[in-house]
Amino acid sequence: MSSNPTTIDSASVSAVLASIVDPETGRSLVEMGQVRSVEASPAAITVRVGLTSHAAILWSQTRGRIEELLRARFPAVPKVTVEIVDHDRPPTKIGQIGLEAKSVIAVGSGKGGVGKSTIAASIAIGLARAGSRVGLLDADVYGPSVPHLLGLSGRPQINEGKIVPMFLPVGPHPMPVMSMGFLVPAGEAVVWRGPMLHGAITQMLRDTSWGPLDYLIIDMPPGTGDIALTLSQVLPLTGAVVVCTPQDVALLDATKAIAMFRKVNIPLLGMVENMSFFVCPDTQKRYDIFGTGGAQRAAKDLDIPFLGEVPIQIPIREHGDAGRTAANYDDPAARPYLEAICTRLVGNLAAAHASRPPMPSLPVL
């Protein structure tokens, strides 16, 4: 007796799609109304699925997963087409300052000189290039590096048309950027105590016209100071990324930064190992100048995700010095490392959303 052939219709295809979750919410795409259309016949299956810009860097991965499941379920269908379209889901206002952002991510380090600002700017640029709405706040008040890394200068203009005047972010970049480097003269030292730092960070967050954001990336000052406490008080941070180099002395300081974030109840989203190794351009020989794999081992010991490594590359330094950090994504030697960090970061957020039980829904009587 032969088995019944697999039914190929919209209902059977939708049943497969029900197992695919929206990366932003962790809920089923079918349940969230993000399956726009389904066309199914023995000759072809075509589906249109809406995903938000928050998950823009995962669109290709999600499309591939849907295609894989559909081909496995309907192997006799010769053509499977999956189209991803934008699904608009605006952010809500969060925290005491009413920031419109879905994810707020602090990028910190236990010590200076590990390339934290370069990694923070690169994460923001990578997410923005993928299609997410991203803002970048340089909260490293004592040594703001983001303006230099992005080639930005000048003072922010004030939007006088608002009931409450707002800073207009500086520069032509597609993402809004704010930094203390725009507000104090170049070369002038900022000598402030905790209350002044708290006020400055709060003002830059509250009084900048960020617009609706998928991500606000915050470049933290190195060490374990007051700013992490300020941020934990005024914003519900999604989590923190810790940047370090492979050698033991840097890892010891990074461990302190991790302990600080945990003490103020900021979740750890992962570690990045910068300056992991150097490949000589003449001989292609690899040199582990600062050791190897230290951050990956530390991340495992501390039970936090490892997001990836970035090697020492002369063009990365040259682009940063020239204010062209975005050009690293045009360099085939640097781009894979930076894109992998962004993809793993957003993928881990998606996995965390999927692991949480759905919020209860209340019936409307």
Structure tokens at 82: 């999956």
Structure tokens at 238: 């999604």
Q: Are 221 and 139 in contact (CB under 8 A)?
A: yes
Q: pTM of the entire structure?
A: 0.91
Nearest to 244 by CA among 256, 262, 232, 228: 256
User: Quick one: pLDDT at residue 1?
Assistant: 37
Size (the chain), residues: 365
Q: How far apart are CA 209 and CA 205, in angstroms?
A: 9
Q: How far apart are CA 17 and CA 26, in angstroms?
A: 14
Start-to-end C-alpha separation, the chain: 52
300: which residues sit within 8 A by CB, 6+ positions away?
306
109: which residues sit within 8 A by CB, 6+ positions away?
116, 220, 222, 242, 243, 244, 253, 254, 257
pLDDT tens, residue by residue, 169-205: 776 567 899 988 887 766 666 666 667 777 888 888 8
HEC readout, the chain: CCCCCCCCCHHHHHHHHCCCECCCCCCECCCCCCEEEEEECCCEEEEEEEECHHHHHHHHHHHHHHHHHHHHHCCCCCEEEEEEEECCCCCCEECCCCEEEEEEEEEECCCCCCCHHHHHHHHHHHHHHHCCCEEEEECCCCCCCHHHHHCCCCCCEEECCCCCCEEECCCCCCCCEEEHHHCCCCCCCCCCCHHHHHHHHHHHHHCECCCCEEEEEEECCCCCCHHHHHHHHHCCCCEEEEEECCCHHHHHHHHHHHHHHHHCCCCEEEEEEEEEEEECCCCCCEECECECCHHHHHHHHHCCCEEEEEEECHHHHHHHHCCCHHHHHHCCCCHHHHHHHHHHHHHHHHHHHHHCCCCCCCCCC
Domains of the chain: 10-86 (3.30.300.130), 93-353 (3.40.50.300)
- Per the DSSP assignment, residues forming a β-bridge with 38 are 47
Q: Which residues of the chain have pLDDT under 50?
A: 1-4, 362-365
- Phi, psi torsion values for 43, nearest 5 degrees: -90, -30
The position carrying tokens 């490293």 is: 140
